[in-house]
């Protein structure tokens, strides 16, 4: 393949991954971003000598021999990770990692203690879970007749559920028990998804048991890395975009920060370059876009250059809503009260109502739930010596039906701090720095007209904008592309987009 000039709009993880692969293979890469630093939503926020990530970036596939770790090593990138887990607390009971390790099935046994009348359904859920974990493991192995047989046998165990939503599945197993349904469906609210619109096969992968106890072995029945682990990047996830940009620079790629790309130049059905906000036109052989799908194609490309199929996808895909974060620097150690560095506090059982309110501009003010996270647990340098970081986070509408974020944010922050103080006594008296992040801040950080924080809602059957667009030599990557959201997913999606680019240009 001949050397091509590749112009990438946006230095989020999708653009950086595509750029790192292209630069490694000898292409001329120029990466543009409005921000001064790379990373998009994984960039740091700083306040009063403290640093904060944009929520808990506890990620899968980062541990040695797992897919993202192996990919980064191929690029010559070696980043240290810290395996960790999360807790779950409801109004009526807790599923917090026990102090003494109680084995890989402790959550199953705890739930049967709490809900003895639902023991049969709980056992059925974990048989379902085990079958899908077997399918996940086998899918990662080299193809063979035995692999296909084992995957087929595992699928036979769950086939009867394949046409069910999460709502239908949990209703069937738990007889409509709202408290037990919340344990498994609650995390869907993080994606602004109603349990009635997500396929039930999603549940084991958003509730992997290793996410709730870092002591659970990842090997199983003599099979190495059977289960996936969860980890943070030591010293912060911003190390990842920095390392990817370093890889691009090492292969003579160029990063152009603080620069606005106004348009993609399309002629004869082909992307021939870009126009910057100052009017400068830059020619290129390939253009790669990231960010908000609708903003990118409506404002930068032009819908007239797309076919009706792609336009329909853009109309029908549903972006997630926003998040509201209160970042605090404190002069005491909050881990004396919350041992795990991340705990989800679910405070409502009506997930349908919660998602409906979210989508209609009604902020729950913490009543539906929130999480408390300690960023310096894996990144001690985020806080000065003797101090610590606390992040309180919840999902919220991008646009409020009543009022606006700028005038309401201080009162809403005080409400979240008061709720967090129920778990971290004395919190308000120990605050020495505070940074409030609203939808307005995230629109600015990500350059989106709607601050869809996690990408697109994973609605069953919804088609997301494909990497290969109807415009020749124009590719689309990132959390609002066909791969969906999440750091490992975005990276793997950008890798797939690059493979498609290679395939389409292999003969030239």
Give domain limits for the chain.
5-42+236-317+463-505, 95-228, 322-446
Report the chain's terminal Cα–Cα distance, integer Å. 6
**Most distant CA pair in the chain: distance in Å?**
69
Distance CA 482, CA 497 (A): 10
Q: Is 124 in contact with 241 (CB distance < 8 Å)?
A: no
**81-83 vs 45-47, strand pairing mode:** unpaired
pLDDT at position 41: 86
Distance CA 232, CA 225 (A): 18
Distance CA 389, CA 506 (A): 49
Nearest to 22 by CA among 283, 238, 241, 244: 244
Backbone Cα Rg of the chain: 23
- For the whole model, what pTM was predicted? 0.95
**474-476 vs 286-289, strand pairing mode:** parallel
Q: Is 47 in contact with 434 (CB distance < 8 Å)?
A: yes
Domain 5-42+236-317+463-505: CATH architecture, name and number where available: 3-Layer(bba) Sandwich (3.50)
Nearest to 194 by CA among 489, 459, 478, 480: 459
Buried b (16+ CB within 10 A) or exposed e, 83-107: bbbbbbbbeeeebbbeeeeeeeebb
**59-60 vs 388-396, strand pairing mode:** unpaired
Distance CA 54, CA 427 (A): 20
Beta strands in 151-292 (DSSP E): 230-233, 254-256, 261-267, 270-276, 281-283, 286-289
Distance CA 252, CA 249 (A): 5
Q: Is 205 in contact with 156 (CB distance < 8 Å)?
A: no
pLDDT at position 508: 61
> Within 13 Å of residue 94, how many CA atoms lie on the same side as its CB?
9
pLDDT at position 506: 77
3-state helix/strand/coil string of 462-499 = CCCCCCECCCECEEECCCCCCCCCCHHHHHHHHHHHHH
Phi, psi of 318, rounded to the nearest 5 degrees: -110, 110
Q: Is 225 in contact with 136 (CB distance < 8 Å)?
A: no
> Within 13 Å of residue 450, how many CA atoms lie on the same side as its CB?
21
pLDDT at position 30: 98
261 SS3 class: strand
Q: What is the DSSP string of 340-398?
A: SSEEEEE--S-HHHHHHHHHTT---TTSSEEEEE-GGGT-GGGS-TT-EEEEEEEEE-S
Q: What is the DSSP string of 89-129?
A: E-SS-EE---SS---TTHHHHHHHHH-GGGHHHHHHHHHHH
Mean pLDDT of each 10-residue bin along the chain, 508 residues long: 94 97 97 94 93 93 90 94 97 96 97 98 98 94 92 96 98 97 95 96 97 96 91 95 97 97 97 97 97 96 97 95 97 96 96 96 96 97 97 96 96 98 98 97 90 90 96 97 94 97 82
Number of Cβ atoms within 10 Å of the Cβ of 49: 12
pLDDT at position 283: 97
58 SS3 class: coil
């Amino acid at each position: 393949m001949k050397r091509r000039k590749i112009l990438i709009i946006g230095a989020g993880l999708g653009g950086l991954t595509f750029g790192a692969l292209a630069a490694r293979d000898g292409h001329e890469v120029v990466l543009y971003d409005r921000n001064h630093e790379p990373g998009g939503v994984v960039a740091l926020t700083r306040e009063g000598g403290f640093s904060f990530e944009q929520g808990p970036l506890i990620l899968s596939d980062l541990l040695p021999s797992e897919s993202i770790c192996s990919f980064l090593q191929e690029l010559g990138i070696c980043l240290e990770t810290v395996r960790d887990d999360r807790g779950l607390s409801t109004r009526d009971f807790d599923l917090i990692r026990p102090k003494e390790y109680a084995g890989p099935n402790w959550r199953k046994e705890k739930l049967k203690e709490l809900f003895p009348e639902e023991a049969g359904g709980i056992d059925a859920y974990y048989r379902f879970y085990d079958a899908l974990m077997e399918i996940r493991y086998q899918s990662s192995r080299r193809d063979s007749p035995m692999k296909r047989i084992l995957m087929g046998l595992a699928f036979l165990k769950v086939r009867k559920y394949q046409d069910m939503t999460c709502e239908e599945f949990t209703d069937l197993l738990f007889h409509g028990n709202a408290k037990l349904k919340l344990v498994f469906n609650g995390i869907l609210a993080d994606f602004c998804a109603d349990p009635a619109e997500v396929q039930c096969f999603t549940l084991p992968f958003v509730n992997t048991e290793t996410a709730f106890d870092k002591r659970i072995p990842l090997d199983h029945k003599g099979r190495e890395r059977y289960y996936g682990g969860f980890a943070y990047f030591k010293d912060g996830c911003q190390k990842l975009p920095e390392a990817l940009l370093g890889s691009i620079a090492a292969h003579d790629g160029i990063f152009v920060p603080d620069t606005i790309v106004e348009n993609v130049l399309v002629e004869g059905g082909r992307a021939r370059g870009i126009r910057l906000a100052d009017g400068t036109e830059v020619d290129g052989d390939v253009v790669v876009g990231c960010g908000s799908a609708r903003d990118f194609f409506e404002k930068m490309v032009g819908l007239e250059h797309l076919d009706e199929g792609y336009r329909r996808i853009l109309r029908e895909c549903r972006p997630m809503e926003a998040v509201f974060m209160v970042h605090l620097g404190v002069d005491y150690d909050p881990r004396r009260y919350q041992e795990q560095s991340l705990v989800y506090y679910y405070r409502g059982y009506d997930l349908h109502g919660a998602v409906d309110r979210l989508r209609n501009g009604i902020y729950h003010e913490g009543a539906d739930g929130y999480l408390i996270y300690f960023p310096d647990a894996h990144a001690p340098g985020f806080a000065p010596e003797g101090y610590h970081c606390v992040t309180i986070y919840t999902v919220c509408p991008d646009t409020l039906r009543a009022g606006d974020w700028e005038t309401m944010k201080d009162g809403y922050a005080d409400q979240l701090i008061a709720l967090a103080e129920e778990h971290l006594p004395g919190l308000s008296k120990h605050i020495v720095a505070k940074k409030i992040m609203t939808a307005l801040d995230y629109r600015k950080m990500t350059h989106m007209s709607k601050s869809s924080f996690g990408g697109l809602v994973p609605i069953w059957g919804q088609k997301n904008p494909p990497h290969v667009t109807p415009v020749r030599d124009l590719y689309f990557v990132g959390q609002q592309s066909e791969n969906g959201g999440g750091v490992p997913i975005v990276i793997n999606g950008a890798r797939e987009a690059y493979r498609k680019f290679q395939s389409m240009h292999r003969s030239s």
